[in-house]
Structures are given as C-alpha cells and as structure tokens.
Amino acid sequence: MILLESIIFGVITYLMTAARCEVTEVFAEVNSQAVLPCKCRNDPCHPADIIWNKHNQGTVWRKQSSGLQYVGSSWLQKDGPRVQCQHSHFQSGDYSLQINSVKAEDAGLYSCRIRLGTHAFQNHDVMLRIIKVSTSPPAPLSGDDVLINCSVTPWPTNALVQWKLNNNSFVSQNGVGMVVKEKATEGMTGKWTCVISYNSNVWHASTTLSVNGIIQPAKDDTKMYAAVGSTLTLPCVFSPGLFPLGIVWTKLNKSNHNLDSRHPPSSTWIKSIKINVVLFEDQGKYRCTGTVKGQTLARTMQLVVAKVVQSKKENSVMLTCQLSDASEVTEYEWIRVTVDINGTETFGPVLKGQTVVLKENSGDWTCRYYGKNGILGNVTYQVPLMSGQSGQKSSHVSSNVGTVIGLSFLLAILLLILAQMYKNHRRRQRILQYPALETIVHTISNEREERERNRVKK
Ligand SMILES: *[C@@H]1O[C@H](CO)[C@@H](O)[C@H](O)[C@H]1NC(C)=O
Ligand SMILES: *[C@@H]1O[C@H](CO)[C@@H](O)[C@H](O)[C@H]1NC(C)=O
C-alpha cells in the first residue's frame, strides 16, 4: 500500500539569457495536481483566444475569444475533463492550466498561446516533469531485496538526488542515486522521500514503505525489564496478516533450551509468551523464531530482572536495588508506598541512590530505575518490622507470650533442680553430723556381704 502525498508543487520560473525564449519548469508528483502557469502580459487582456498545446500531441485546452471552450479528447474522462482553467482568473489575464491526478505520460513540453486581436501573439512554454517514488516489491518481507526508485520524467540533466527516511538522511550502501537497493529490514519501514536539487531549486516526493516481519520488538537485543515475582509477556508480534509457522521460543544460554509454549498464542501473528511469576534466574537472552513464506524470521531480546537485596545492620536495614543487567540504568530512586485502610496509596519519602539505609521505616519500598530516556521499571520490597522499634504490636504480642511460657518452664525446671540439690545437700549434712554412724552402717553391710559369700562357698 503506497501512500502518495498529493503535493502541488510551486511554480518556478527561470529566465534564460535570451529573453525571447522562456521555459517555465513545473515539477509534479504522480497523482497530484499540476498547475502550468500562463499569464497574459497585456492589461487588459480581453477578449483573447487561448490555446494550450502539448508538444507533438495537439490541443489540450482551448478558449475562443467568443468564450467557447474545447478540451482535447485524450483529456476527457468519464467523470469529466482532467484539465481545466479557472474562469475566475480570466479577468486578471491568468490562463494557468490545471491537470488533475497527473500521470507519468503527462510529462513533457506544453505551450500556452495567447492571441489578442489579429496580430498580437504571446507564447509561454512550460516543461512539466513528473516525479514518482516507488518501491518494489510494495510490501517486502524482512530479508527480501527491496528497490526504492525515484524517477523524474523527463530527467533534468545535472539534477542531484538524495534520500531521506522518516526525515533523516539515508545513505545507501551502494551510494546515493535514483535507486536504493537494500536488504529489507524492519527499520526501513516509514516514509521515504526523494529530494531532487535542480537549478538551485529543491523538489520532494515521498512514498511509504512497510517491511513485513517481526514488528515487536522492533529491534534485536531489546531489553525488557521485570521485577522478581511479577508477570511478564515476552513479545513476538509479526506484521498483521502474516501466518508465521513453526514458532520456537529459545532461551539462549549454554544449553539453548526451547521453552514449552505453556500459553497458546493469542492470534495467528501474535506469538508472545507469558511468564506468570518472574524468577531472578529467568534473566537472560531469548529468541523467537518463525517461518513466513519459507523464510525464517527471528528476533532476540533480553530479559533484565530486578530484585531488592536486604542486608541487616545494627538498628537499620540496608536495601540494594539489583538488576541482572544495569548497563542502561542511569539513576535509582526509592519511594515508600503506604496504603491506608481505604486502599489509597501515599508516596514518599523519596531517597536517591542504588543502596539506601533505612533507620526507622518498615513497610513497602519501591525502587524505580531510570535510563536516559526515562523510567525503565520498578521493584517493590516489603521491609520487615525491626526490633527495638516503637509501635511493635500484634506479631510481637504472641511471641512475648511464647517467651513468658518458655521462661516459666525453665524456671520450674530450675526450681525442681534446686529443690533436688537442696534435698541432697540436707541429706549429706545429716550424715556428716553422724560420721561414725555412717561407718558403722557401712561396716555392718560389708560384714553381711562377706558372710553371705562364705555361705555360698560352703
Ligand atoms: C476512609 O474513607 C472514609 C469514608 O469514605 C473516610 O471517612 C476516612 O477518612 C477515610 N480514611 C482515610 C485514612 O483516608
Ligand atoms: C511500578 O510500576 C507499575 C507498572 O508500571 C506501576 O503501576 C506502579 O505505579 C509503579 N510503582 C511506583 C511506586 O512507581
């Protein structure tokens, strides 16, 4: 689908050194309206007989002094003539010829002849050049050879051609010329403008090229940012209308393993996949591959995973915003997010830097990371309640109860032990009061044992 801009080009006149021979140059883009100027030098210029002729092709338009008008048969169409002169301008002696939706065949030399009375003649020559920018094929597939052609009929000698893509200068690898011949890439999608410089004048003509392929991500190695625990869609969107086959998603690591398609593609040309819960290990390079009309198209992308690492210090907590690839990050920012009972979020305070030390703030902290073109993403972390802090309630009440029970139990055991020790102590003291008695008891028992042994021997 080629979109040709309808631009009516200005009329530029240049005088040759010989005043008698005057040719006006008019450039018109294919399908636009061309205006071929013809202005009577007499004032008043009435009644005049006007004839517009095309070189070697006869009359285009004619008006007799009586007012009768004719249009050349080749300029007539079903819906009326393709050429006309504005009646309203006749009074001022302006007999400029309008040609609607010009074609390449309209190019050539025209002459406007004005006859006043029987003797006075005026001749105005106009050179109409038609510019056309075309692409072949009109909608190439990424990787196809594509030709972008700028043609001017008739070609003005010594004219210079330059190219612009989306208003930026485009330098073809094959040099700058009337034809750009390239391998199509998705980056070549956009407005192609041919700029023609000729006799210190500049003309433009444009066309739109759309290269079919993987339109999202638009470039290889596009970085995608996601926070640990979040849900992410890895995009792989083909041009609408394509029917890519054999879609394969690969994680490009040492083993290059293919991902199973857990989620069926949402349409014939959208082949994105979803990661329900992003893990830090999911970071890395991915590739989406598909085949269109026998041609393999692929796109690589990088998943960058962000997480918050907490390290404890005395009476404070240190948070670090960690990304698996921070090469594009220029700035970090921390925001405390508080949500009240009504669900209203309050932001603030804001701290700067990749690492922050929090003294008294628990709750949700979000790290926002920025690149040179703005925010890249964010990751939220819930800072646990810290000990030795005012305002510890619910969770600490239960733990206190536990502590009390534990301590009481210990105390009871201790008391029991103490009681036992005291008992033992008392007993020993009692015995010590009568040391002789102990010896006697001991001797008696020893004697009895000996007697019993002797009896067994007998
Ligand atoms: C919550 O909403 C109620 C009623 O809508 C309002 O009266 C109250 O002030 C709100 N509380 C907060 C903390 O915004
Ligand atoms: C984090 O990013 C999400 C998604 O872009 C956004 O909805 C949210 O408001 C962001 N949070 C903060 C604190 O910037």
Residue 339 CA to ligand 1 center (angstroms) comes to 12
Output the six-digit token pair for 228: 């640990």
Return the number of other C-beta atoms located less than 10 Å from residue 355's C-beta: 15
Whether 9 shows a pLDDT value over 50: the answer reads: no
Please identify, by atom number, the ligand 1 atom nearest to the C-alpha of residue 342. Answer: 1
Kindly give the distance from the C-alpha atom of residue 344 to the centroid of ligand 1, in angstroms, as a whole number: 9
Percentage of the chain modeled with pLDDT above 90: 47
Q: Which among 153-157, 163-167, 413-417, 440-444 has the top mean pLDDT? A: 163-167
pLDDT tens per residue, range 202-217: 999 999 998 999 999 9
Residue 393 has pLDDT above 50, yes or no: no
164 and 195 in contact (C-beta within 8 Å)?
yes
Would you state the pLDDT for residue 174? 63
Atom index in ligand 1 nearest the CA of residue 341 equals 13
- Per residue in 35-58, pLDDT tens? 999 999 887 787 789 999 999 999
Q: Mean pLDDT across the chain, nearest whole number?
A: 82
- Return the best residue to mutate from 338, 340, 342, 346 for the ligand 1 pocket (most ligand atoms within 8 A of CB): 342
Count how many Cα atoms sit within 13 Å of the Cα of residue 352 in the half-sphere of its side chain.
2
Question: What mean pLDDT do residues 153-174 have?
Answer: 87
Give the predicted TM-score (pTM) of the model: 0.59
Q: In the prediction, which pLDDT does 305 show? A: 97
How many angstroms separate the CA atoms of 62 and 51, rounded? 4
How high is the pLDDT of residue 175? 55
Rounded to an integer, what distance in angstroms lies between the CA atom of residue 457 and that of residue 75?
153
Cβ–ligand 1 distance for 345 under 6 Å, the answer no
Q: Are 65 and 48 spatial neighbours (Cβ–Cβ below 8 Å)?
A: yes
Q: If pLDDT is split at 50, 70 and 90, which confidence band does 7 have?
A: very low
Say if residue 1's pLDDT is above 60: no
92 CA → ligand 1 middle, Å: 76
Which of 134, 132, 65, 52 lies closest to 96, judged by CA? 52
Total residues belonging to the chain: 458
Report how far ligand 2's centroid is from the alpha carbon of 325 (Å).
Answer: 20
Q: If pLDDT is split at 50, 70 and 90, which confidence band does 279 have? A: very high
Closest ligand (CA of 335): 2
Give the pLDDT score at 354.
94
433 lines ligand 1 (CB under 6 A): no
- Residue of the CA atom closest to atom 1 of ligand 1: 342
Averaged over 249-271, what is the pLDDT? 76
Instruction: Please give the distance, rounded to the nearest whole angstrom, from the Cα atom of residue 342 to the centre of ligand 1.
Output: 6
Q: Which band of pLDDT confidence, cut at 50, 70 and 90, is reported for residue 391?
A: very low
Ligand 1 near 342 CB (within 6 A): yes
